[in-house]
Chains A and B, each alone.
Chain A
Amino acid sequence: MTPISSPCNATLLQRSLNDQLSEQQEEQLAAHLSDCDACRQQLEALASDAASWNHVGKVLRDETSGEHAVAPHSGSTLIPQLPISGADADGEFNDGSRLKPSDFIVDFLQPSQNKESLGRLGNIEIRQFIGQGAHGIVLKGFQDELNRLVAVKVMAPHLASVVAARKRFAREARATAAIVHPNVMPILHVDSSGQLPYLVMPYVDCESLQDRLDREGSLPILDVLRISLQVARGLAAAHAQGLVHRDVKPANILLEPGVERVMLTDFGLARAVDDATLTRSGLIAGTPHYMSPEQARGDAVDTRSDMFSLGSVLYAMSTGRPPFRAESTYGILRRVTDDQPRPMRELNPEVPTWFDAVVMKLLTKSAADRFESVEQIAQILEECVAHVQQPDVFRLPQIVRELRPQKGVLRFRRAWLLRASVVIGVVAAVLIVIKWPEPPPNKSINSDSETTKITEPLNPENTIPWDDGTDQDLEQLGTEVESLFEETK
């Protein structure tokens, strides 16, 4: 990024308009604009000519004051929801398709005899309005003949006339039916014959990972690992069927309370890996925070794209915010393709260095430099869970031990390690000479060394807590000392 040389800089203004500034440059420019009237005027002139500013302002004023008689149900989504309260810290994108539950019930449900029921949809008594997403409405229902509670996902009415959206719905049903896995939300039934297509799923009392993150911010490392392990397993099952999910994000990850079961859902964007059709749909569904760079560019994607999104989810769980943020969707897309995320430890010092390294490998821009497969990630995560639970019994998987966190840090650490290993190697050699001139055969150095050997090469008392990365350094140091010995033999 080019530094700001002069405070008044036309290139910078144009780049801010195109969402091409780093977060830091943006802050600097905002501060400058607060004081500099000339730059403000220049920026506004770059955005649009004065006539257009006035025209757009007038049109939108007329629109909301009812100057133009439009159909009563046009329900403008332009006016911000009042009252204006403080800025939402992490910000939300309004998805623009809000529908009143009462309108939906009146317009689309059949009346029911049952008093508990809001209405009927096919053979389902609808009992409750659960929620609403960008593509549809989720309802809680009861199927009499099967005597079970179900969740019904109904396509949003404004999309029902859009061919692409209907296709998306059909694809979701087809894709999900192909994957039977405990970490994938199953689909029981599909109906696309009616005015509004809908999917029937088992009713599970759960919340989305997004809800949990909104409520709690970042999560403890063990929770992060457990959740991501299950997401990775579900995702691996989809990949085994030749499907790419393409929309892995916290809102599509459901957490069952108590049972600690995690389910991946919403295969609406899923594609067969070898499906060449419609790869470039310019359609951005909801937030692009978790998209991979190849998706953001509109390139063909494969399973490695899901790996990147998984990395973004891990990042969000560890720090409470997605790795790439900006004011506009375009800005986010640009950051996804061009910027390096901030190291997680800057945002949450509790994140272990080795975990930062794992996530950064997932977030590599070049798909080829990520892991081999999500299957492999699941295995790694499984070993990481064991390590975090019992650091003195289970070592981190080798592949994680070999990852180094940040490039700058890497060079420094290597150099330090080499120097230290030489010193320690010499010291150790001297010690060995002094202490054990003749190693006693068949005799332990101390009484509990046998039990120690069985479980772990490291003495538990000397074990450094897992979260400061020192044990990795020590392990590597050990290897380097060993190889030094090999060479000097």
Chain B
Amino acid sequence: MKKTSFWVILIAAVALLAGVAAVWLQIRGAGATIANIYQDGVCIRSIDLSSLTETVTFTVEGPAGTNTIEAEHGRIRVSHAECPDQVCVEMGWRSDGASPIVCLPNKLVIRLENTAASATPEIDGVTG
């Protein structure tokens, strides 16, 4: 039997580490402007948000339906999703790389990074 203080210290240490990691991710993600859109782990599209002058809207198809992605100068979000949980829509706008937008049913991840990960990056943000 260990003393309760042992467990309290152990749990506090894990919480502290998590807190430090969260802050570090926040700092590290600052300044990232290129939105990389991944599906099934493959980057399907890269947009430089800092070069956008008008709002760009496009859709991504997945097993759980369509996600509508809206990008504008400096920020990006999922504006509409056909899946029932709507978590990715509620995640709102992202303007830095601290945490990605995730749609688990459609295996979709939108991440702001410093470099474009797509094979054919659309640095000018023009959409088809």
Task: Tell whether A and B belong to one assembly.
Answer: no
Chain A residues within 8 Å of B, Cβ to Cβ: none
